[in-house]
Structure 1
């Protein structure tokens, strides 16, 4: 294939329910250092779309231009040889009026661009898929990749309980904790039934689990094994952890298996301080004062809704005074 040098930039498209908006934006900020409500984001950071429960598609850019005619002109230089291809103009909601293109026009544009590409068009099983999008008044064209809803496959587990995080929320939480897994060691010291562990392990995140309840430790191990994953889950309190981790994820215990009192929650947070410098906390109660007393500072946050049930996700770092000490 000739003339397929990428620019090093990417277009990501998003989809989420209104109740998931805050969580999606927090995940965006973790991945890209910024967020947007336009459901389209341009970045030079390469993220596997299937990592996020909210990313729909990724276009790895080959070129961009202010006018469609410029895109058609540049597409004419693509020579795929004997390879087959397809051009997709994604369906997007929430775009600015100037960026909206109706269905009939999209199909026409796909044909215009596809007509000039040297290769054989195949709408069913193409060797190469190209994506085309109008965003911010500019046209973007490149390699198209659609997400796979991996988290959806994890919904049916051998062991579960009603107050556990949904797999969708758990996957986003793992991404917020570890946006770039390279060289990062993570721990979920109150892992419960292992919902976060399953999502993190399925994305190649180096994470271990722990819990004080032998029943849920057993259930967590069973869930991990059920999905063909490999991960360690130990029985024990967070206070007994000797190793250092780059990030810890704590979903505060509040279910029928482990119902922590306020003082026990405070102890969990204090015991996390020697273990990690970055901490993600999921809570149903206002605990800002506990975070501060434990020696952490909140750097970002969001609310997550599940019907009438509200959780808050707090992104925390060890307080600067303690870091400098």
Structure 2
């Protein structure tokens, strides 16, 4: 059994991102306790779990208990897969029902009695205890360092545009499509979604109607070592003309929300409707589109008119003048 600790800013989206990756890996979510997911999967899932954007960490789940006494008793019977030294670290979630103040010391003593050495400053193995409705203990296998994602935020890129999704969210949109080979962003802007997809080893296709964006996106992709890409200057409402005969495995995009300049002088809602039709035309059957729309646009109704089926919908308030939904649609 494994565990994933998801992030709390978009928890439903984070859970569904994990679910999408587990479906590719042949695993499943076996239970949830606040931001803690119990995962029924083996090490074959690691390459897919390593793709996660909206996760804090994942690891091996070894103990689940209803009380501190039960956790300590079960811990005595566990064959702890500790390499080198260890440290016990407690995560007290918002729904924690147990007094875990002294638990790291008590659990550390149980594990130490099995012959393992403690190192509180630089342990080789981190034993993680989560407190929610229940108590869970395991070994951390992968920590998703925020600095890695922060290094790809808009102001760190060679081609800089301030309006851009956070790299973690871009990564999640890619993963929610369940793409394994390739992805298209038909309104790519500076290429943030394509960067995250390219770093996952996918071939990336991008389109933008503005020449400076096509040049800038290429600059950003190359800066982060991505070479397997195809970028085109063109109109997102005419994708079948841009890619004749091509059907894509997945599409993810964050369309511009605002001014007539960013919308190439067209009415926003009309543009969105035509883009949805255009994407539907180039998407493989059974494949997914992940897309963001401002809350004032009924993305669900318009996509269903085109023929899409809703798979997921996630609300985000960015600031007082911008509320949006992230949608995941499937082409039946």
Name the TM-score class by shorter chain: 0.7 to 0.9
**What are the equivalent positions in structure 2 for 1:44-83 lying under 5 Å apart?**
44-45=40-41, 46=45, 51-62=51-62, 64=64, 67-75=70-78, 77-78=79-80
Distance 1:289 1:141, change over 3 A: closer
1:51-95 residue CA offsets vs partner (Å, 9 max, x unmatched): 4343222221345566123333224x5586xx5221323323223
Structure 1: any 5+ residue segments left out of the alignment? Answer: 1-8, 320-325
Task: Name the SS for the 2:195 alignment partner.
Answer: helix
* 1:273-314 Cα shifts (integer Å, max 9, x gaps): 231132122112223343123221222211222112112112
Equivalent of residue 184 in structure 2, options 183, 187, 192: 187
Give the distance between the partners of 1:141 and 1:58, measured in 2 at CA.
10
* Cα distance change on mapping 1:186 and 1:131 into 2, 3 Å: same
Gaps in structure 2 of 5+ consecutive residues: 23-27
CA RMSD of aligned residues (A): 2.9
User: TM-score scaled to structure 2, two decimals?
Assistant: 0.78
Note if 1:170 corresponds to 2:180. no
Secondary structure of 1:120's counterpart equals coil
How far did residue 49 of structure 1 move?
6.0
Q: What SS is found at the alignment partner of 2:251?
A: strand
What corresponds to 2:25 in structure 1?
none
SS of 2:225's equivalent in the other structure is: coil
32-41 or 114-123, larger mean C-alpha shift: 32-41
Instruction: From 29, 36, 41, give the equivalent of 2:37.
Output: 41
Are positions 1:198 and 2:195 aligned together? Answer: yes
Q: Is the 8 A contact 2:7 2:35 kept in 1?
A: yes
Query: Alpha carbons of 1:25 and 1:59: their partners in 2 closer, same or farther (altered >3 Å)?
Result: closer
Is 1:14–1:56's contact at 8 Å kept on the other side of the alignment?
yes
Q: Which residue in 1 is equivalent to 2:158?
A: 158
Q: Does 1:11 align with 2:23?
A: no
Q: 1:117 to 1:197 in 2, by over 3 A?
A: farther
The CA distance in 1 between the partners of 2:136 and 2:277, in whole Å, is 51
Deviations 1:76-121 (A, max 9, x none): x5586xx522132332322341xx3333x13313422331232433
Partners of 1:39 and 1:94 within 8 A in 2? no
How many pairs are equivalent? 300
Structure-2 separation of matches of 1:134 and 1:37: 9
Kept in 2: contact 1:13–1:40 (CA 8 A): yes
1:223 aligns to 2:220 (yes or no): yes
State the partner residue of 2:94. Answer: 94
Matches within 5 A, 1:95-174: 95-97=95-97, 100-103=98-101, 105-134=102-131, 136-137=133-134, 139-149=136-146, 150-155=148-153, 156-174=156-174
Question: Is the deviation greater in 309-318 or in 230-239?
Answer: 230-239
What residue is the counterpart of 1:281 in the other structure?
A: 291
TM-score normalised by L of structure 1: 0.79
Deviations 1:9-58 (A, max 9, x none): 112223324xx345434434534576857111101244566643432222
Give the corresponding residue for 2:313: 301
